[in-house]
Chain A
Amino acid sequence: MRKWGIVCALAASAALSACVQTKQYADPQFTLPQGSYKLLVLRPDVHVGSLTTGGMVEPRADWTEQARTNIIAALRAQQAALGGNLTIVERRNQLPGVAEQELADVERLNFAVDQSIVLHKYLGDYLPTKRGRGLDWTLGSDAVKLGEKTGYDYALFLHAEDSVASRGRVVLGVIGLAGCIVGFCAPNVGGAEQLDYASLVDLKTGEVVWFNVVDAASQVPGIKFGELRTPEGAAQMIERLIGRMKPGQAVRRAEAVR
């Protein structure tokens, strides 16, 4: 009886150690896009794979395609509710009036800036010069030029990766759970993990005005925290990542005073 008690406690703690984490940053002066703003979504980067028994993620083209379709549909629905005018560019040559290389340069610059944001805001290498300044990064004149040429107000960059525990991985977790009976308890070998991030760039100023990361990781294979292959999972992801967008600190303070 006592043994089973430990098993349950461990299983519960393992399940609890898996969770959904999200942390967003914004420029202190950032106000939520309102009215009939024009939003450009550049090549949503989606990867969905199968988590093998041994713990590797095997990319799956069909699941990725499914997830991409779901995410775009969810994003359209979410933006339509806000009144945003949305354009999704899937290929670098699809934006009229902008050369492929020009768009590629903006994308690459954004990627480098995003990496810097992740390093200095999320991974612990905090910069004293940016303390208390919210999100203080910019893509500079290239982004402004893109805005002038195309007439868009904002650019949204979106990355989503998800893995689905394979049957073998679930079996491995089950063996680990069964082992608890004999005192070798290892159900938390690691299950599906979803990692999404998005950055919003103001094309009038070139500044990265808002950034968010969602990490939904499960330690126990078989337990899920959202799945991009389904329309509901994709809608949940868009809600977690973009739906709960908050204005910058200064703006929120001003609103609180009012």
Chain B
Amino acid sequence: MCGHCLELTRRSLLAGGGAAIAAFQTGVANARVRPADMVPLVGPGFKPTDKDEQGLWEEMDRVEEEIAGSNLLVDDPKLSGYLRELIGTVGGPAAKDFRIYLARIPDFNAMMFPTGFAVVFSGLLLRMRNEAQLAGVIAHESGHFLRRHMIRSWRDQRRKTDIFSIGAMLAGVGGAGAGVYLGDYVQLAQLGTILSLFKYSRDMESEADAMGAKLIAEAGYDPMEASNVWLQLIGEEKASAAYRGKHRQRGSLFDTHPSDDARMADLRADALELKVPGRIYDNHRARYLATLGSFRQTLLDDQVKLNDPGASEYLIETLAQDGWDGLLRFYEGEVWRLRNRKGDDIRAAQSYAAAVVYPDAPADAWRWHGITLLKAGRTGEAKAAFAKYLTMKPNAPDAAWVRQMIG
């Protein structure tokens, strides 16, 4: 009797191990989705006809009303118009149906909702080096809608939980009838179901990546820029983790998205497939920066106040690969000053001094340059810097105090 028990346990362990290995392999070795296979599944003016999808859309009605009226949104008609135009360029057949909202949240994120409205976080705008990169992320979000990912994921969840529930119930009843306990198998099946749901979610993300790469290539952007976005994000995460003495988190079986590394590699392969030899691609950096205008300072300001000097320093250096300017130098100084480690005051002073050389240095760069000069005992130069600060920002909150100080 007990030998039989042992046999059963060993067999179930083997089966369980096998299932686990299969799950691990499918989870880790995701096959790349080819952009050429990504055909939009919706046309212009899409409206759902299936009951489940209609239900999903109805639920989104008030969600959009809430988001559209949120006080987190950036109230800048020029920027919203620009984003609308951009999603209109890379939105495929649904280009005219999309709505896009910009929220002031200093984080790398963008999302698409089932009914075709997208939310972009301001932190994304900071990280994009040019319009092509932003177009890549927005095209990825359009891809979710064009490939009908929300309803497909919902149906996948419904089907798998249905099968699991019926299977678990039958295993219980059948097992009781036959006098065997199948609870371990049910638990294993539960884990398998959960892993399979995460796998499906990662597959959808891979599809959206491939669809997005195709869309931006068709719109005339260099598809390699989509891969560069992930290259930059990996660098930022490494720098952020290194500063805190930690390791960057890598992909796991319970992730909803493929690992950043896998996405970067796949998008690179996509770009090589999509790029037309001899064609000249414009990344529209100038247009991008011109549209951001003074909002770029707000973006940098929000970032340096996150108290994540590793990431902030990396971000500024990455943006500076396209050329340093007064704004970037000033915020480089701010990262050092706020970090306040040994020697950071000297680093900050150097950054402020470098910032004010550029014609686009913000008023605060002159203010901090003046303060560091004052600390160094260079009173005359400090006064000149403060005077410049006051001319640029005569109504600054501390204007009276600064005026009194420079006499």
Contacts of B21 in A (CB 8 A): none
What residue in chain A is nearest B176 (Cβ atoms)? A184
Contacts of B52 in A (CB 8 A): 58
Listed stretches A32-40, A60-68, A80-88, A191-199; interface member: A60-68
Cβ-defined contact, B170 with A182, below 8 A: no
- Residues B212-258 near A (CB distance < 8 A): none
For the complex formed, measure the closest distance between the CB of A130 and the CB atoms of chain B, giving whole angstroms.
29
Cβ-defined contact, A176 with B169, below 8 A: yes
Q: Does A254 contact B (CB under 8 A)?
A: no
Q: Does B343 contact A (CB under 8 A)?
A: no
Once bound together, how far apart are the Cα atoms of A101 and B71, in whole Å?
10
Cβ-defined contact, B65 with A54, below 8 A: no
For the complex formed, measure the closest distance between the CB of A48 and the CB atoms of chain B, giving whole angstroms.
9
Contacts of B51 in A (CB 8 A): 60-62
Set B54, B161, B163: member contacting A61, Cβ < 8 A: B54
- B51-73 CB mask vs A (1 if < 8 Å, else 0) is 11011111100100110010000
A52 and B176 contact, Cβ closer than 8 Å, known pairs A60-B51, A61-B58: no
Once bound together, how far apart are the Cα atoms of A101 and B59, in whole Å?
21
- Residues A206-253 near B (CB distance < 8 A): none
Cβ-defined contact, A175 with B55, below 8 A: no
What residue in chain B is nearest A63 (Cβ atoms)? B55
Q: Does B184 contact A (CB under 8 A)?
A: no
Cβ-defined contact, B59 with A59, below 8 A: yes
Cβ-defined contact, B58 with A59, below 8 A: yes
Contacts of A65 in B (CB 8 A): 58
Cβ-defined contact, A56 with B157, below 8 A: yes
For the complex formed, measure the closest distance between the CB of A210 and the CB atoms of chain B, giving whole angstroms.
25
- Residues A94-147 near B (CB distance < 8 A): 100-101, 104
Q: Classify chain A's interface size.
A: 20 to 34
Cβ-defined contact, A64 with B58, below 8 A: yes
For the complex formed, measure the closest distance between the CB of A103 and the CB atoms of chain B, giving whole angstroms.
10
Cβ-defined contact, A61 with B65, below 8 A: no
Once bound together, how far apart are the Cα atoms of A179 and B173, in whole Å?
5
A92 and B55 contact, Cβ closer than 8 Å, known pairs A53-B166, A172-B166: no
Cβ-defined contact, B57 with A61, below 8 A: yes
Cβ-defined contact, B161 with A59, below 8 A: no
Q: Does B165 contact A (CB under 8 A)?
A: yes
Contacts of A59 in B (CB 8 A): 55-56, 58-59
What residue in chain B is nearest A104 (Cβ atoms)? B69
Q: Does A168 contact B (CB under 8 A)?
A: yes
Residue in A54, A104, A171, A175 with the greatest tally of chain B CB atoms within 10 Å? A54
Contacts of A184 in B (CB 8 A): 172-173, 175-177
Cβ-defined contact, B176 with A183, below 8 A: yes
Q: Does A186 contact B (CB under 8 A)?
A: yes
Contacts of B56 in A (CB 8 A): 59
Contacts of B62 in A (CB 8 A): 45
Q: Classify chain B's interface size.
A: 20 to 34
A53 and B170 contact, Cβ closer than 8 Å, known pairs A59-B55, A104-B69: no
A175 and B161 contact, Cβ closer than 8 Å, known pairs A58-B55, A92-B65, A104-B69: no
Q: Does A178 contact B (CB under 8 A)?
A: yes
A54 and B57 contact, Cβ closer than 8 Å, known pairs A60-B51, A101-B69, A104-B69: no
Q: Does B388 contact A (CB under 8 A)?
A: no
What residue in chain A is nearest B59 (Cβ atoms)? A59
Contacts of B57 in A (CB 8 A): 61
What residue in chain B is nearest A183 (Cβ atoms)? B176
Contacts of B161 in A (CB 8 A): 52-56
Contacts of B177 in A (CB 8 A): 182, 184
A54 and B175 contact, Cβ closer than 8 Å, known pairs A61-B58, A62-B54, A104-B69: no
What residue in chain B is nearest A45 (Cβ atoms)? B62
Cβ-defined contact, B158 with A52, below 8 A: yes
Once bound together, how far apart are the Cα atoms of A61 and B164, in whole Å?
27
Residue in A101, A183, A184 with the greatest tally of chain B CB atoms within 10 Å? A184
Cβ-defined contact, A182 with B173, below 8 A: yes
Q: Does A49 contact B (CB under 8 A)?
A: yes
Once bound together, how far apart are the Cα atoms of A176 and B168, in whole Å?
10
For the complex formed, measure the closest distance between the CB of B270 and the CB atoms of chain A, giving whole angstroms.
34
Set A55, A58, A100, A101: member contacting B165, Cβ < 8 A: A55
For the complex formed, measure the closest distance between the CB of B154 and the CB atoms of chain A, giving whole angstroms.
8
Contacts of B58 in A (CB 8 A): 59, 61, 64-65
Residue in A60, A61, A172 with the greatest tally of chain B CB atoms within 10 Å? A61
Contacts of A54 in B (CB 8 A): 157-158, 160-165
Once bound together, how far apart are the Cα atoms of A64 and B52, in whole Å?
12
Contacts of A49 in B (CB 8 A): 55
Set A104, A168, A182, A189: member contacting B162, Cβ < 8 A: A168
Contacts of A104 in B (CB 8 A): 66, 69
Once bound together, how far apart are the Cα atoms of A100 and B172, in whole Å?
55
Once bound together, how far apart are the Cα atoms of A65 and B55, in whole Å?
10
A100 and B69 contact, Cβ closer than 8 Å, known pairs A52-B161, A54-B162, A58-B158: yes
Q: Which 4 residue pairs spanning A and B have beta carbons closest together? A: A54-B161, A59-B55, A184-B176, A179-B173
B residues bordering A, Cβ < 8 Å?
51-52, 54-59, 62, 65-66, 69, 154, 157-158, 160-166, 169-170, 172-173, 175-177
CB-defined A-B contacts under 8 Å, sample of 8: A52-B162, A58-B52, A60-B55, A64-B55, A104-B66, A175-B169, A175-B170, A179-B176
In the complex, given contacts A62-B51, A104-B69, A182-B173, what are 13 additional A-B residue pairs having Cβ atoms less than 8 angstroms apart? Answer: A54-B164, A54-B165, A55-B161, A59-B55, A64-B58, A92-B65, A100-B69, A168-B162, A172-B165, A172-B169, A176-B169, A184-B176, A186-B169
